[in-house]
Homo-oligomer: A and B are copies of this chain.
């Protein structure tokens, strides 16, 4: 078989920060590593790219094995390629992040993989450069959630304004003013009033909304205005 004369053939891994939102806190799924090196230490979930799959296949496979979910939102973040990042042998990792509705995943799949949800405030030490990956993913999530409604992937398809506000507060780790938030989010015209109300809550019944994905495609800029009010300049 003909090959290139270049000889640096290396392992390619895919590591993934899986964000979940439980209604009040943003969490990350971590896995207790069951092979050397660093056996028993905490790690992001990941795996090697197989010979017959591209990165998208690998991401879907790895996420499905761990969460039991298909069609998860995930995107590529950055390649971590430090020469000595893995002591066993050189491995580059194409780091991704995924967003899931925490109540939709399969807890048995997660448990069987020795995986647990950690809040961002209570992350244990992570192997290799995985902590750097989490920090970068969080930064990207904050950036993107300000410009795009990707945060909605973390919510059920129908949600109340207080739920949405709690999500944004968890992502940015800061309290937002309720009236300002409602006014701004409504003014984007990206929410559909489903005509239904939240039944289970302890407080008074709140309107259930859904994201108008079709309209969003056409109206990306509204989110620019949205964030400009309560983002970094506030």
Contact = CB atoms under 8 A, between A and B. Distances in A.
B79 A4 contact: no
Count copies of this chain in the complex: 2
A89 B2 contact: yes
A89 B1 contact: yes
Contact of A51 (B8, B11, B147, B221): B8
B88 A2 contact: yes
A149 to B, nearest CB: 16
Contacts of A233: 219, 221
Interface of A: 1-4, 6-12, 48-56, 76, 78-79, 81-83, 88-92, 94, 147, 219-221, 224-225, 227-228, 231-233
A228 B221 contact: yes
Contact of A89 (B4, B11, B79): B4
A234 to B, nearest CB: 10
Given A82-B54, A228-B225, A232-B221, A4 B90 contact: no
A71 to B, nearest CB: 20
A83 B58 CA distance: 12
